[in-house]
């Protein structure tokens, strides 16, 4: 790995937004391809963060810092990747379900997915089933991710899946769900395709869904 790419990985791991953006720009100025910067600079850093987070060696604020650092670089890379016709890994649509205002975990999933090369559309929080349906028709995602942090809003996930079924778009997406009260058995019960307990696992699951694992 070239020195600048290794510096980029370290900047992502350290959550240093300024250096990540600066070294991304330097790498591009040096003539490195945007895809190389993403795959060989940022991704190894974010993969490391994912592993450490899962192992309990990094905590949410640190992961958020890394994700934001990664985002600062993605802002520079994304237009070039799109312009270059480079395929993103896939499309992920995200939202916190109706009645639920918790979005920190969902935002983390969003940033990590984007960092992993997915084209992410984030509908925000308190998203009604009908809004998910409209967005699926417009954005045509490969994966839909729903978040809920309240036991009272978990049912909105099931209602959303039912709304997708009624609109005839259920089978066009893989559905993953997450949030503190959610479990794999709840996912099975409501007919979701998978559950992930944290943002790193969500990225792994989304990759598996699009055959990029
Ligand atoms: C921060 C917080 C708030 C903030 C939310 C700010 C925001 N912008 O998100 C505020 C203050 C607004 C809030 C409000 C309320 N809250 Co609150 N809140 C929390 C708190 C302390 C932290 C949640 C959090 O952000 N965790 C950190 C993130 C990173 O973790 P996470 O969300 O679990 O996400 C991870 C995974 O779950 C997973 N994941 C998450 N989403 C997704 C999605 C997909 C697709 C996948 C695959 C994975 C995935 O990956 C994430 C990253 O690893 C929790 C307690 C707790 N410790 O969980 C209570 C908690 C969730 N709140 C609770 C309650 C009761 C409320 C209120 C009803 C309080 C009130 N009486 O007003 C309101 C409800 C408002 C509403 N309608 O939503 C209860 C819920 C109890 C229950 N069983 O239902 C909790 C558990 C606190 C408690 N012990 O009582 N809350």
pLDDT digits (tens, 9 = 90+) for 87-112: 678 999 999 999 999 988 898 898 88
Q: Does position 177 have pLDDT exceeding 90, yes or no? A: yes
* Alpha carbon of 150 to ligand 1 centroid (Å): 7
Question: Under a CB-based contact definition with an 8 Å cutoff, are residues 103 and 151 in contact?
Answer: no
Q: Which atom of ligand 1 is nearest to the CA of 100?
A: 78
Distance CA 28, CA 149 (A): 40
Q: How far apart are CA 174 and CA 192, in angstroms?
A: 8
Quote the pLDDT of residue 200: 83
- Ligand 1 pocket, residue 106 CB under 6 Å: yes
pLDDT for position 5: 96
Give the closest residue (by CA) to ligand 1 atom 81.
150
Atom 13 of ligand 1, residue of closest alpha carbon = 102
Closest atom of ligand 1 to CA, residue 60:
29
Q: Residue 191: which region, alpha, beta or left (left: phi > 0; alpha: psi -120 to 50)? A: left
Q: Whose CA is nearest to atom 11 of ligand 1?
A: 102
Residue nearest ligand 1's atom 59 by CA: 149
Share of the chain above pLDDT 70, in %: 97
pLDDT tens for 119-176 read 999 999 999 999 999 999 999 999 999 999 999 999 999 999 999 999 999 999 999 9
Q: Which is more confident, 85 or 109? A: 109
Ligand 1 mutation pick, 94, 97, 102, max ligand atoms within 8 A of CB: 102
Q: Which residues of 121-155 are buried (b: 16+ CB within 10 A; e: fewer)?
A: bbbebbbbbebbbebbeebebbbbbbbbbbeebbb
Q: Give me the mean pLDDT over the 61-69 stretch.
A: 91
Q: Residues for the chain: how many in total?
A: 213
Evaluate whether 106 touches 94 at the Cβ level (below 8 Å).
yes
Judge if the beta carbon of residue 150 lies within 6 A of ligand 1. Answer: yes
Answer yes or no: is pLDDT of 75 > 90: no
Percent of the chain residues topping a pLDDT of 90: 72
**Averaged pLDDT, 25-30:** 96
Is residue 196 lining ligand 1, measured as CB closer than 6 Å? yes
Q: Measure the CA–CA gap between 175 and 161, rounded to whole angstroms.
A: 9
- Confidence label for 85 from pLDDT (cuts 50, 70 and 90): low
* Cα of 23 from ligand 1 centre, angstroms: 35
CB atoms inside a 10 Å sphere around CB 177:
27
- Residue predicted with more confidence, 18 or 39: 18
Q: What angle do CA 85, 87, 78 make, to 5 degrees?
A: 70
Token reading at 143: 């994966």
Is the pTM for the entire model greater than 0.85? no
Q: Kindly report the average pLDDT of the chain as a whole number.
A: 92
Residue nearest to atom 67 of ligand 1 (CA): 150
């Amino acid at each position: 790995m070239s020195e600048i790419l290794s510096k980029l990985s370290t900047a992502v791991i350290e959550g240093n937004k300024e250096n990540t953006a600066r070294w991304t720009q330097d790498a591009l100025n040096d003539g490195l391809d945007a895809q190389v910067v993403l795959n060989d600079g940022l991704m190894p850093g974010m993969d490391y963060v994912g592993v450490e987070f899962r192992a309990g060696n990094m905590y949410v604020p640190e992961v958020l810092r890394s994700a934001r650092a990664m985002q600062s670089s993605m802002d520079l890379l994304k237009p070039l990747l799109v312009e270059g016709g480079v395929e993103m890994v896939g499309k992920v649509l995200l939202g916190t379900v109706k009645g639920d205002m918790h979005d920190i975990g969902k935002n983390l999933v969003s940033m990590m997915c984007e960092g992993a090369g997915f084209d992410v559309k984030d509908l925000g929080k308190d998203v009604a089933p009908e809004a998910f349906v409209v967005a699926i028709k417009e954005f045509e995602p490969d994966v839909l991710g729903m978040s809920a942090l309240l036991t009272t809003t978990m049912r909105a996930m099931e209602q959303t899946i039912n709304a997708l079924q009624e609109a005839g778009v259920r089978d066009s997406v893989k559905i993953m769900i997450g949030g503190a009260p959610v479990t794999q058995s709840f996912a099975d019960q409501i007919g979701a395709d998978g559950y992930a307990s944290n943002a790193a696992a969500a990225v792994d699951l989304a990759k598996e869904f699009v055959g990029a694992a």
